[in-house]
Chains A and B, each alone.
Chain A
Amino acid sequence: MSDTLAPRRATARRRGRTRLEIAVLSAPAVIVFLAFVIFPVALAAYYGFYRWKGYGDPTDWVGLNNYRLILTDPAFHDVLWHNGLILVMSLAVQGPLAIGLALLLNRRIRGRSTIRVLVFVPYIISEVIVGTGWSLMLQSEGAVNGLLRGIGLGSLEADWISDPDLAIWTLMAVITWKYLGFAVILMLAGLQSIPDEIFEAAQIDGASYWQIQRRITLPLLGPTIRIWAFLSIIGSLQLFDLVYIIWGQYVSGTAGTSTMAIYMLAQGRNAGNYGYGSAVAVVLFVISLVVALIYQRFVLRRDLKGAVTEGTV
């Protein structure tokens, strides 16, 4: 009797100790994460139903009125259109460019690792610095126009920042400059994970360089391309820093570069309408979530199969 009880008590004690370890080790992370990530997101959903200036408890319940106002506001339609354009253009410009450059840089050339570091530089510099630098260069009397004059293309001089016909393309150029390096590095990493034997076999079978790229490299690069596109889509929907630094809250409105996140800041915190700003955050979140879910469901399904089964411990 006693010799069966003692080990059971020991097991119970050990189990208690294990539970304590689990609690002590995981509590700080879980608490901080719930308090500063999950709770604010839930709060946004709650505040979104109120007209509220941010003082005291929200009492002025307006139901779905904030959402009705957002969805019927022509200014919101504009920013939604800008985000959509940025999303499509980012994919269409950076994707093919990055794949082409990665194929090229994957060849044996001298100084390849140096090239790789330098290509990555724009990505590592903060948006603020990129924005400040470019806004100086893009001014009417800035370096870009100066350079155009210098090489005899003075007729192309333009007001890159405030001309509403140009501004969104200027933004696209800066975005491409900032994030292309990241895409190239990702694609290069993807290319290098393709086993050499496959190419050797194709070469022995008499496939040409372009046949190999089209029939072997591109399909095998698929998972990398799809993950990159996912990151690019989410980034495009949430674009804020660059636009806010170069154009600011007001010029971005007149130049036609403002995004949903700028709209959220301008109509929410800066206007003192915390209820309305929270509702914009919810709309932004729902749009991102729906896009992400659709993308995962139809595009990433195959790629995630492994990751999900590995992921669910």
Chain B
Amino acid sequence: MSATTISRKPTGRDGGPVTYFVALLLVGVCVAPVVYIVLGGFRTNAQITTDPAALPDPWVGVNYMAVLKSSVFWGEFANSLIVALASTAGIVALGLMVSFVIARYDFRFKGAMYSLFAAGLMFPMVIAITPLYLVIKDLGLVDNLLGVIVPQIAFGLPTTVIILVPFLRAIPNEIEEAAALDGMSRLGFFFRMVIPLSLPGVVTVGILAFVGSWNNYLLPLYVLNSQANFTLPLGVQVFSSQYSTDTAKVLAFTSLAMLPALVFFSVFEKRIVGGLTGAVKG
């Protein structure tokens, strides 16, 4: 046996036909419903009624055109985008600052502060939602995008702190000392060295925050009342009950609503998967 044929990863032996068959089956099962939604948007309601599980014949673009021309879709798209961008910016900024403090300053409540945020993982939004809604109501933020953004920032902080603190702690002390010798203040060090050096962690955190916000349903459901303020998940739900007889249009609306998350995912696939598995493995 020559050296090159010795497999580097013995468990990763070559897959036989069974492997390919199972892999294909799995991918088929995972993707088929998504493909159904996308293709369904290219059919007419008559086609869907005659045979609910068939390919478009002929292909029609009217459903997608109708959705793309509707101001409702674009309004909700804009709301989702505003909420996602603002939440992401808030989570990254606040999370980076507090993680920097926890990772690189010495003070009495450091451990307590870390535990506080780590404990936050135990409080998912479902549990806090009723009183959270009351807090938002008291602040006058009901039916206001800020009423979604600010709580999303708060609930995004635990994961952020847990991902970023090890990142920031890994920056060697020598770099900080060198920066101090060069007359750079601690804050100058933060802006000019820490942020660039922790960029991979920041990107991961940012992507998780964006996708989480884009897909969030529960909080907008409680907080936003008027259609002008709806985000896409709420919009999809309302649209599908309003046009419950127009299945093709609902499918077109639904696939256009999921498109941004899918594009975002395919662009940042490695980081999302790495971030999730990294976050889970601690």
Asked if A147 lies at the interface with its beta carbon under 8 angstroms from chain B, I say yes
Hey, what's the 0/1 contact readout for A177-207 against B, CB within 8 Å counting as 1?
A: 1001110011001110100100110010000
Asked if B186 lies at the interface with its beta carbon under 8 angstroms from chain A, I say yes
In the complex, what's the smallest C-beta–C-beta distance from B69 to chain A, in angstroms? 21
Docked-complex contact B126 and A284, CB < 8 angstroms:
yes
Q: Which residue of A lies closest to B274 (CB)?
A: A189
Docked-complex contact B33 and A133, CB < 8 angstroms:
yes
Docked-complex contact A196 and B8, CB < 8 angstroms:
yes
Kindly list chain B residues whose C-beta atoms are within 8 Å of the C-beta of A104.
Answer: 15, 19, 22-23
Instruction: Determine the interface band of chain B, counting residues with CB < 8 A from chain A.
Output: 35 or more
Hey, what's the 0/1 contact readout for B236-249 against A, CB within 8 Å counting as 1?
A: 11001000000100
Asked if A152 lies at the interface with its beta carbon under 8 angstroms from chain B, I say no
Task: Say what secondary structure dominates the interface of chain B.
Answer: helix
- Stretch from B59-67, B110-118, B197-205 forming part of the interface with A: B110-118
Hey, what's the 0/1 contact readout for A112-132 against B, CB within 8 Å counting as 1?
A: 000111111110111111101
Hey, what's the 0/1 contact readout for A240-253 against B, CB within 8 Å counting as 1?
A: 11000100000000
In the complex, what's the smallest C-beta–C-beta distance from A262 to chain B, in angstroms? 10
Docked-complex contact B273 and A185, CB < 8 angstroms:
yes
In the assembly, what is the distance between CA of A295 and CA of B27, in Å? Answer: 33
Q: Which residue of A lies closest to B117 (CB)?
A: A33
Q: Which residue of B lies closest to A194 (CB)?
A: B11
A136-153 interface (Cβ within 8 A of B): 136-137, 141-147, 150
- Stretch from A2-10, A35-43, A63-71, A87-95 forming part of the interface with B: A35-43
Docked-complex contact B134 and A54, CB < 8 angstroms:
yes
Which of A18, A40, A101, A121 is the one whose CB lies under 8 Å from B135?
Answer: A40
In the assembly, what is the distance between CA of A200 and CA of B102, in Å? Answer: 42
Docked-complex contact A43 and B12, CB < 8 angstroms:
no
In the assembly, what is the distance between CA of A200 and CA of B13, in Å? Answer: 12
In the assembly, what is the distance between CA of A284 and CA of B204, in Å? Answer: 31
Kindly list chain B residues whose C-beta atoms are within 8 Å of the C-beta of A227.
Answer: 280-281
Q: Which residue of B lies closest to A209 (CB)?
A: B13
In the complex, what's the smallest C-beta–C-beta distance from A155 to chain B, in angstroms? 17
Docked-complex contact A30 and B277, CB < 8 angstroms:
no
Asked if B1 lies at the interface with its beta carbon under 8 angstroms from chain A, I say no
Kindly list chain B residues whose C-beta atoms are within 8 Å of the C-beta of A144.
Answer: 53
Docked-complex contact B261 and A126, CB < 8 angstroms:
yes
In the assembly, what is the distance between CA of A227 and CA of B37, in Å? Answer: 33
Docked-complex contact B154 and A36, CB < 8 angstroms:
yes
Q: Which residue of A lies closest to B273 (CB)?
A: A185
Kindly list chain A residues whose C-beta atoms are within 8 Å of the C-beta of B251.
Answer: 133, 136
Docked-complex contact A37 and B155, CB < 8 angstroms:
yes
Docked-complex contact B127 and A41, CB < 8 angstroms:
yes
Which of B100, B118, B217, B234 is the one whose CB lies under 8 Å from A127?
Answer: B217
Docked-complex contact B127 and A107, CB < 8 angstroms:
no
A25-53 interface (Cβ within 8 A of B): 25-26, 28-30, 32-33, 35-41, 43-44, 47
Asked if B97 lies at the interface with its beta carbon under 8 angstroms from chain A, I say yes
Q: List 24 A-B contacts (CB under 8 A).
A: A18-B186, A19-B107, A26-B102, A29-B97, A33-B120, A43-B135, A104-B19, A107-B15, A109-B19, A117-B265, A120-B269, A121-B262, A124-B261, A124-B262, A125-B215, A126-B216, A126-B233, A141-B52, A181-B30, A227-B280, A227-B281, A240-B126, A264-B126, A281-B130
Q: A126-B214, A141-B52, A143-B53 are in contact. List 15 more A-B contacts (CB 8 A).
A: A25-B190, A43-B134, A54-B134, A119-B26, A121-B262, A132-B240, A133-B37, A143-B52, A146-B54, A189-B273, A190-B281, A231-B280, A264-B126, A311-B282, A312-B111
